[in-house]
Chain A
Amino acid sequence: MSTTPVVLLQTGPVNSTSYADVAGMPFGLDRLPGETSDQYLDRLARASVETRTHVYEGLVSELAFQLGLLTQPGIRITGPADTTISCDLCGLALVEGATSLLCPLETLDEDEAWSWKSLSSIVTLINASNLWQAQLLVPDGPAVQLCRQTNAGVGMPYECVVSEVGLIGFLEPSLPTIAATPTGGLAYQVREFLQTINQIDRSYWSR
């Protein structure tokens, strides 16, 4: 038996196998390193009420759940009951009768890179309309967090969903409109996407 104190080498945070890990088995979601049981159970509870299939909302949710990121209501918009709201990469559009407002999510910089507006600037723009009122429900961040969505079937007031993980596909209907630059090229980020895809999937090299 050792009688003098022995100093130990510490190895940092480690997850134990807790009751929460048992509860998580049917969900296909592992507990992340350092994620506490209550945080993990929150994630599982949210996963149990969201669509996690191949549809757009499902993919956004599943990405967020797997990575431990948040998808949540981000901007609450109130206004006339017959307002139509839609959001895609082109921007957040509000239409009521003959009145409409388009809040672009990004601008094209001089170096042809998308520069994302902030969520708070979009809220400010909506509030300046004098027809609709908006309230930011989350900490401010880039507007790329706004998901593709519409208030069809929901009506007003409407809570626009934001996600800490984005999903942009090449089949995104609005992509051709905003990917093209005035000089006939592609926006910097889209070029980067293509470059990465080419590196990962060499079947594109022949084209």
Chain B
Amino acid sequence: MPRSYLTQQFLNYFDSADQRVRTYPNTLDAQLFNIAAVELEDLDLRYEREVNAHFVSPCPSLLDNRGVYFGARIPNTFVLPAGDILNKVEGLRNGNWITLAPYDDTLPTPARIQIDTTRSAIPFDNPILFDLISSGTFLTSVTPAFTLPIPMPLTFWLEGLPASATIDVFIEGLAFPCSVWQKNRVTSSETISYSSEGLQTTRNVWSRIDSVTVRNLPTGSHLTCWHAPFNLPAVPDLGRPYIHPMFRDQQFSRYWQIVPGQLREVYEAGPLVGLNYVQSYSTPEVISAIVVEPNTYGLLAVSGRSLYYVDRREPLPGKLNMTAITSDPVYSINVAFDPTREGSTRYACIQALEHAHDSVIRAWRYVLQTPSGLVFAILPSGTFVTYSGGAGWSTGVPAEVSVPLTETGTYVFSVECVDVNNIVSADHFPYANLPLNTVKQLDISGIVPAVAGIAYDSRGRLWIWTGDFAVPVSFCYDAYVLDSSSMNLFLTDAFDGVRIS
């Protein structure tokens, strides 16, 4: 099961003094709330789609196989299995029967990728419209007079803001689509207002930019504008905001970032703070570009040869039953990513939290179980020693320790305490050192020679930027939807034959 971003919102209703429930992500309380939060997040996704469907510009278009299926009639004599779930659906292509999957519109997993022949490849050498480091001038006019090769909203990224400020970006140009009759064309304008760092996009989709004027950009602040969102410093995932345990009723913008060997979820914490860590996923190879799939839970990560279709929701760790406690421990244990350790190997920072009985503690130790099942005691220096009854015990207050995580999977960290009455108490923390949550890997070496970026346009159509060209691509799903009431099967692709059992 995935972890919903809303789970923390539930947990934040606990008092801040109740640190274990409010802060620890995998307690039984968190697991219970997560079940409801996942359902609510699903409803939230569908609600957003319904609202956006009332407007042409943000209307979800890539869902539901873009609105066109290939029909197949199930004979009335065929008795559907219980629950109307077909055992097997197969499509015949080039003499081979291919097993088809049920189509899931929250995570439409592609089976193949192809050049989209309904669009043309477009010469494209630079996605950046301008890159401005402010010298402190109140009014800076950037007049690119630029025709966009692919109609898109403009994307702005602001960083290096010394403090909160009100910054306006005024854009004039020709919105897309414009009338084909020149006499009916009207110039449009739009203002973007910034009060913090991060990303903003224009509401308008533009076909031509006549001028951009920036007001009140503080000295040294860095504002960059993309006319196509290839290779942004961080890719926005604004539909799933981040909620911090410390801040009740406050949501932060979530982003995805490529770092060496990892994909990271980060959140925009405000001026002077920048992007803070949320979660990380190790990647099987060097990732060169990512994009969040609109209106679904999908994310696309591209290397030179492969495209990874990823479920971007964080999976819960395994061994969750370990978090159950029947009595208050002397110390509880919290484990978090250690942001001070750079490099491809991630480190976990172990912290112990004082509970009511800490004054009677006699000895303590940290214990670690790796995903492969090896168990170690951890010395205060961070050194691992083989686990045994007497290994690794220390006296005094449990100190913070940082340990490297060399395997992916669920680690179980524990703090064991012995009090003066020789009663042993323990608290356990399952910690997931996550790999990329890949649902499907597709070979793209035959489609594009190189990948410099990947982006969806304003109509939800996918483009891969090679550095010289923007190449239109689309997915084939090899999936089906069953309408049991009309006994029809709707296929996402055309087949030479279809059979069910």
Contact = CB atoms under 8 A, between A and B. Distances in A.
B72 A19 contact: no
A108 to B, nearest CB: 30
Contacts, number: 154
B204 to A, nearest CB: 12
Interface of B: 49-50, 52-57, 59-75, 78-79, 81, 88, 90, 118, 176-184, 459-461, 481, 488-490, 494-495, 497-501
B403 to A, nearest CB: 48
Contact of B183 (A6, A22, A153): A153
B60 A19 contact: yes
B189 to A, nearest CB: 16
Interface in A140-162: 149, 151, 153-154, 158-159, 161
A8 B52 contact: no
A8 B498 contact: yes
Interface string A14-47: 1110111111000000010011111111101110
What band does the interface of chain A fall in when counting residues whose beta carbon is under 8 Å from B? 35 or more
A49 interface: yes
A130 to B, nearest CB: 25
Contacts of B498: 7-8, 10
5 contacts: A20-B67, A36-B67, A37-B64, A38-B66, A49-B177
A203 interface: no
B308 to A, nearest CB: 24
Nearest to B498: A8
Contacts of B497: 7, 10
Contacts of B72: 8-11
Interface of A: 1-16, 18-23, 31, 34-42, 44-46, 48-51, 57, 71-73, 149, 151, 153-154, 158-159, 161
A125 to B, nearest CB: 22
Highest count of chain B CB atoms <10 Å: which of A20, A21, A151, A161:
A20
Contacts of B81: 1
Contact of B180 (A4, A73, A158): A73
B490 A14 contact: yes
A7 B72 CA distance: 10
A161 B61 contact: no
Contact of A8 (B68, B181, B499): B499
B68 A41 contact: no
Given A6-B74, A34-B68, A42 B79 contact: no
Q: Which 9 A-B pairs have the closest CB atoms?
A: A18-B67, A19-B53, A11-B71, A37-B67, A36-B66, A8-B72, A5-B499, A37-B61, A22-B53
Contact of A10 (B63, B461, B495, B501): B495
Given A9-B73, A22-B53, A45-B56, A15 B501 contact: no
A10 B488 CA distance: 10
